[in-house]
Each structure stands twice: as structure tokens, then as C-alpha cells.
Amino acid sequence: DIVMTQSPDSLAVSLGERATINCKSSQSVLYNSNNKNYLAWYQQKPGQPPKLLIYWASTRESGVPDRFSGSGSGTDFTLTISSLQAEDVAVYYCQQYYATPYTFGQGTKLEI
Amino acid sequence: QVQLVQSGAEVKKPGASVRLSCKASGYTFITYKMHWVRQAPGQGLEWMGIIDPSGGITAYARKFQGRVTMTRDTSTSTVYMELNSLRSEDTAVYYCGRDSLDDGDYGDYWGQGTLVTVSS
């Protein structure tokens, strides 16, 4: 199984500041034939299901504010929130969908 | 609009089975695969498997193979997830999630979740 490791486990950022969450996969999730990274990011608030933010490592889901961005390739990925808003307090997960089982990172708790 | 409505909370004894449902609306049911993911209390997300409603083909995480069965009823646009031989570690919120129509298997819409409590 591909192991996804996020860092840090928790993060406190001031309102308006940048938040950066890292995700590392135990093997590459880049599919060479189409040059796509099979990596998604989700946001989960307490008592709610996960919400898709980013797919293909850097494509923002429709309706997601442009302060959220994803980057990286191969085994190392980053979710960046450019200017933290109060409503961004949540747990963030990366997930690889390169190979089953489609494993998640352990989550990063983002606080203000 | 896309909606995934899951069945209500369940309380089961160890060794029992549970069957959860996820009713889809707002899109063509057989066009999109469906994931099942669970979350133990205070823990992260765990992918369990996926079903293609068009033909019923499934893929399960090795951890659950032999204990999980995912099925669908196209007449009611509902997918089901049955988990057998329940143990306390199966206490979790179970989510269904619609797969994207994209080339990749990520979930773009999610149900509200069903809490399953396993306790003697």
C-alpha cells in the first residue's frame, strides 16, 4: 500500500497569514503516460463529511476559493492557503488515487 | 443538485453484521462509481472500497476483503455496504462518496455519514 505522510500534524496560523501543509507519498503517484499526479486534497470540518478542494495535485474544485492552491509532483506535495480566513479552520487530508487502496494521509489540523 | 443521503445510525454487538445504504439523486446513478470511506472517533479517513453501479464491479481494500460487500440497486439509485463480523474497532462514521467522472478515482460529493457503534 502507498503510505501518505502529512506534516505537520497540527498548525496554528494567524488570520491573513499563509498556511502550508505538506504531504509525502511512499512511492510516486505520477502516472508517466499522462503526466498527471493522482493526488487530491480534502477539507473536513467537525461533524461534516470531507470536502474536495484540489485534484490532480493542483486543480482547484469548482467553487473553492482561489486562496487554496496545490503544488508538487511525484512524491512531494503541498497545499497552500494564501491568506487564512476563520472559516478555514479544519482538518486537511491528502489522498492518493494512483493505486488501490486509495490511502489518505493522517490529517493536519489547522487552527488560528 | 447532487445529493447522497445515508441511512441512520446503527448500534451492533460484536460479531454481528451491518448494512448501510446511500441513496443518490441529482445525477445519472449508473454513470458514477461510489466510494466508501470510514472514520473512527477522533481518527483520520480510511478508504474501504469502490463500486461501479453500472455493472456492480467492486474493488475492496485488502484489509476489508472477506468482510465487506458493496452492492447496488439501480432501480432506487442506492448503493449498500455490508460489513460482517463486527468488532469494536469498526466503530466509526461511514461515508459514501461519489467518484468523479474524471480519469481519476477521487470523491467529489459525499454523504452525511452514518455512525456505527459496535458494543456489547
Cross-chain residue pair B45–A56, CB shorter than 8 Å: no
Band of residue B10 on the pLDDT scale cut at 50, 70, 90: very high
A103 neighbourhood in chain B, CB within 8 Å? 47
Look at residue B103 and tell me whether its pLDDT is greater than 90.
no
> Are the beta carbons of B45 and A42 separated by less than 8 Å?
yes
CB contacts of A50 in chain B (<8 Å) are 37, 45, 95, 97, 107, 110
Cell numbers that stand for A87 in this block? 472559516
Kindly report the nearest CA distance between residue A74 and chain B, in angstroms: 16
Residues of A in contact with B20 (CB under 8 A): none
pLDDT of B104 reads 83
| All three cell numbers of B9 | 445510525
The SS3 of residue B30 is helix
User: How high is the mean pLDDT of chain B?
Assistant: 96
**Residues A7 and A16: beta-carbon distance below 8 Å:** no
Chain B residues touching residue A36 (CB < 8 angstroms): 103-104
pLDDT of residue B102: 81
Name every residue whose Cβ is closer than 8 Å to that of residue B16 and which is 6 or more positions away in sequence: B86, B118
**Which of B95, B106, B110 is nearest residue A95 as measured by Cβ atoms?**
B106
Average pLDDT over residues B53-71: 96
Over residues B53-70, mean pLDDT? 96
Q: What is the pLDDT of residue B101?
A: 83
**What is the structure's pLDDT at B6?**
98
The stretch B50-61 carries a mean pLDDT of 96
Alpha carbon of B119: minimum distance to chain A alpha carbons (Å)? 22
